[in-house]
Amino acid sequence: MNDNSNAPGIVDIPAGEQLQKLRRELEAARKESGALMNACALLNTTLDLQKLLEIILQQSAVLTSAEASSLALIDQKTDELCFEVVVGEKKDILKEIRLPRGTGIVGWVALKGEPLLIEDVSKDSRFYQKVDEKSQFKTTSILCVPLKTKDGTIGALEVLNKVEGEKFDSNDQSLLMALASQAAMAIENARLYKSVLEEKNKIVSIVNSMGDGIIVTNENFDIVLTNPAAESVFSDKTSSFDDVFKLKVIMLELSQLKSDTTFDLVLMKPENTILSNRMTMLRGAENEITGSIVSMRNITDIKHRENIRAQFTSMMNYKIADQIQRLRESLKNNEIQCDGVKCIAESIEEKVIKLIQFSEMESGPLRLDRSLGPVGPVIETAMEEVREKYIFKHIELKFSCESDVFNMEVEVDHDRIKTILCLLLNNCIRFVSADGCVEVIVRNVSEMLEITVKDNGIGIKEELLPKLLDKQYHLENVLNSSDASLSLAYIKHVVEAHGGSMKINSVIGKGTEIIITMPKFIH
């Protein structure tokens, strides 16, 4: 690639020699362009930034017959130059070196965006000695070119010391410039690829960590991404997730909608799951549909609770209506006696009480009617109310209370305390056999009033204990058995309205104790 104008004595050389010289030059130029093409082709073989930088360095040294080469990229955060990759013996040392922008030959080139060819670095003030000191490499000559993209200079590529004592020339500079422009583009592509990959990984992590099920499809509604929450709903023992036919049916339905939509899925059998879902269309630059994202929220528990409540009220109402109907027909036919009326009335009353308890629990914290008064008489009144039933079943009912505690003034809703104690005592009767014993113990524990109801009945299974204070459990029980009551849940509701708490201890075959603790006064 030598310029012919640089050969002024051309006329003095014999024609044969001149031809040979030109032939040599042509051969050299052909080799160089071949090497350049080869180098550029290699740059396209990888999107891995590190591998790419290594290729650039190797090829730049080969292309210019240099002893060593190095490449520095500008760190946008610190505005420093970092030697990303170094080829040669001292690569590990050089990799740690960071240069402020503008320092040294590399810094100058990166700052100015122009190439620099220095035949003797000792005569150039821009040369930064410390790099040689650290790397113990003796630099004599340098050829350094900028790495430029459309957005500006991203770094610089340099080759050091031409082999066999030769000097870098303008031909080397042109070759290195050509390589550098391809290299800069390849570096930019690799960086973009890396950031896209990182973004993708980030999105995948977010999607995977979500509690809602996520399904992403392409424009043909083929599934391209799912998260574990979605997979767990549709996983099937017999087929892989991709082959679940149900899901294909859903996707087919969605493909007919092709717009942002909310929809519900009730997977009745075998999953027993209810999903509330939203499909959002993904759109490209020209608003064309490129896919869809479906988010699925599992609302099975919420729906289940709603159902139980709805069933509970409708069941109770129908039962009451049914009994009133029977009563009316019997009265019309004169078939019924006083006892019968009383019996049906009690049954209706019991259901109405359940409904009242239920609605009180549903409507949030109770509005208490607190007043100041002694605790003992309230307990005694409640015990009197149930005593008849206890005598009938031959169960002993005891009251243990110190006299000062009996007269202790407490600021509570006395009517409700009496009601819940009656409920508790009525509850005990069902689980204590004849000749058993139920004891009510009232104690003063610092600022708290403690009421314990203790029986020597059949006891409660350990696994049932935590459920006994759960309203939902009792609601379901009432739906399944007319024997079940809401009492315990209601008692807890009243105790909590007083700012207190409730605890149940039980041993199978030995008995149960229910401990209610509540503050004596409002602060």
Binding site for other proteins (CB under 8 A): 222, 243, 245-246, 248-250, 252-253, 257, 261-270, 274, 303-304, 307, 310-311, 314-315, 318-319, 322-323, 326, 330, 335-337, 339-340, 343-344, 346-347, 479-482
Structure tokens at 478: 């009432």
Q: How far is the CB of 479 from other proteins (least distance, A)?
A: 7
Q: How far is CA 291 from CA 12, 157, 257, 263, 295, in A?
A: 75, 43, 13, 18, 13
Nearest CB to other proteins, comparing residues 134 and 258:
258
Q: Which is nearer to other proteins, 278 or 393 (by Cβ)?
A: 278
269, two tokens: 């059998």
Residue 483 Cβ vs other proteins, minimum distance, rounded to whole Å? 8
Residue whose structure tokens are 């590990």: 92
Q: Which is nearer to other proteins, 114 or 264 (CB)?
A: 264
Bridge partners of 214, per DSSP, are: 295
Q: How far is the CB of 263 from other proteins (least distance, A)?
A: 5
Question: Which residue number, 156 or 216, has a Cβ lying nearer to other proteins?
Answer: 216
Q: Least Å distance between CB 340 and other proteins?
A: 5
Contact 83, 95 (CB under 8 A): yes
Q: What is the nearest approach in angstroms of other proteins to the Cβ of residue 319?
A: 8
Q: Which is nearer to other proteins, 322 or 462 (CB)?
A: 322
Residue 237 burial (10 A CB sphere; 0-12, 13-18, 19+): exposed
Nearer to other proteins, 78 or 220 (CB): 220
Would you mind telling me the total number of residues written for the chain in this entry?
523
**Bond before 100 cis per omega within 30 degrees:** no
Q: Quote the least distance from Cβ 247 to other proteins, whole Å.
A: 10
Strands 66-75 and 152-162: antiparallel
DSSP of 444-466: EETTEEEEEEEE-SS---GGGGG
The single-letter code of the amino acid at 310 is: A
Min dist. Cβ of residue 419 to other proteins (A): 24
φ and ψ of 34, to 5 deg: -65, -45
The structure tokens 């909310």 sit at 262
Distance CA 179, CA 173 (A): 10
Q: Count of alpha carbons within 13 Å of 290, Cβ hemisphere only?
A: 6
Chain centroid to CA 517: 39
Closer by beta carbon to other proteins, 275 or else 440: 275
Q: What is the DSSP letter of 225?
A: E
**Smallest distance from other proteins to CB 356, Å:** 19
Give the residue with the Cβ less far from other proteins, 263 or 406. Answer: 263
Shortest spacing between CB 277 and other proteins, in angstroms:
10
- Beta carbon nearer to other proteins, 189 or 323: 323
- The CB-of-360 to other proteins minimum distance in angstroms stands at 23
Between 346 and 362, CB nearer to other proteins: 346
Q: Which residue has the tokens 């759109």?
A: 283
Cα gap 417→332, rounded to integer Å: 42
Tokens of 514: 């229910």
Residue 136's identity, in one-letter code, is Q
Rounded CA Rg of the chain: 45
